[in-house]
Amino acid sequence: MSDPSAFGFEVGAQLAGGRGRTGVIHTPHGDIATPAFTPVGTKATIKGVLPETMAELGAQALLANAYHLFLQPGADIVDAAGGLSRFMNWPGPTVTDSGGFQVMSLGSGHKKVISMSLADSRPQGSDAAGGGARPREIYSSSGKSGRLVEIDDDGVTFTSHIDGSRRRFTPEISMQIQHQLGADIIFCFDELTTLSDPRPYQELSLARTTAWAQRCLDEHLRLTEDRTHRPYQALFGVVQGAHYEDLRRRAVRELVALRATEDPGRGFDGYGIGGALEKENLGTIVGWVCDELPEGRPRHLLGISEPDDFFAAIENGADTFDCVSPARVARNAALYSRHGRFNVNTAANRRDFRPVDEGCDCYTCTHYTRAYLHHLFKAREINANTLATIHNERFIVRLVDDIRDAIAGDYFGELKADFLGRYYGARGG
């Protein structure tokens, strides 16, 4: 069953005057029409929402997190269940990230500080992974928890947030976990940096990430050949380089040139754009990357969900996106509307009997009012999270679907001006 031809990508309409395009990603569990937004079910579930409901609101694929599923319930259990799709009762395509973001953001993502030492700070890149840098360490800012993460040339040692045990991820381990999880699209293990990391470290990290990508490619080939009882999984390389144009372009060229050691014909099936992105320069950075990427491979921008970011990224060549934000902010009573995001639990909504967004066709908007959601959140009812999440996920999925239709119909510019004008022109209307 593990047939590479089960995965493919076809480019459709091109955006006039831009890099954007429509397309179709073919996977063993179905097709994904692009551009597309992929909702994130971190632990193999969208919190409070059934998979059947996610299908009804238009989600074409779901993403789960390798780090969390590795810790609980264990990748071997998901494998024994027949893979992620069967385990979570989602018949469509699935995606897993490598776990790298989680294990390397335990410090900065939880208000910790990063302590970094460089033994070699040469301004231009070394060809050795890590360039001689001593391990990068992330510590608890309070000094009580001790070291949370240690990154070296071989991999990452981290502390489990569940039981405090010390665990280890390497490129090979990440591939083994993701193969057991069985998603249709998986990602290379890469090193996360931040905009505060100096350029010398960005260069050393980029060399390390490229070396890890080669190891991922080799392990992916080995596992694909060993696990012929499972459908083929497409491997995406991840482009790093922060906000530096030369590093981003170098990263792409190096990734595109990589081939599996035992099969020179086997490169990456697609590419992810990750790392530190300045919001105001997001479109520019995506454009740098897409200029260098091959036309016939899909491009996934990791961790994006704001409307203006979609327009900027899509017109510069990105095809697919994922982010936990629509569901996360929904659980805090923040809801999307055509006139901007607003908090439904404020006093202004107590007697507002309009739907969340009068132009929305989701289950929540066609059955319930702002006043009712206001009541549910104030009463701390579980249904508040469910109904809010359904709306937010539908809103974002539909927005990207509308952008796809606009590219195909040659009215992208009009949609962009109209939507962004309304969305950022007023709030909560």
Active-site residue, 322 included? yes
Catalytic residue among 97, 184, 190, 309: 97
Which of 190, 309, 319, 322 is labelled catalytic?
Answer: 322
Active site residue 226: no
User: Which 3-state string (H, E, C) describes the chain?
Assistant: CCCHHHCEEEEEEECCCCCCEEEEEEECCEEEEECEEEEECCCCCECCECHHHHHHCCCCCEEEEHHHHHHCCCHHHHHHCCCHHHHCCCCCCEEEECCHHHHHCCCHHHCCEEECCCCCCCCCCCCCHHHHCCCEEEECCCCCCCEEEEECCCCEEEECCCCCCEEEECHHHHHHHHHHHCCCEEECCCCCCCCCCCHHHHHHHHHHHHHHHHHHHHHHHHHHHHCCCCCCCEEEEEECCCCCHHHHHHHHHHHHHCCECCECCCCCCEEEECCCCCHHHHHHHHHHHHHHCCCCCCEEEECCCCHHHHHHHHHCCCCEEEECHHHHHHCCCEECCCCCCEECCCHHHCCCCCCCCCCCCCHHHHHCCHHHHHHHHHCCCHHHHHHHHHHHHHHHHHHHHHHHHHHHHCCHHHHHHHHHHHHHHCCCC
What is the set of active-site residues? Answer: 97, 322
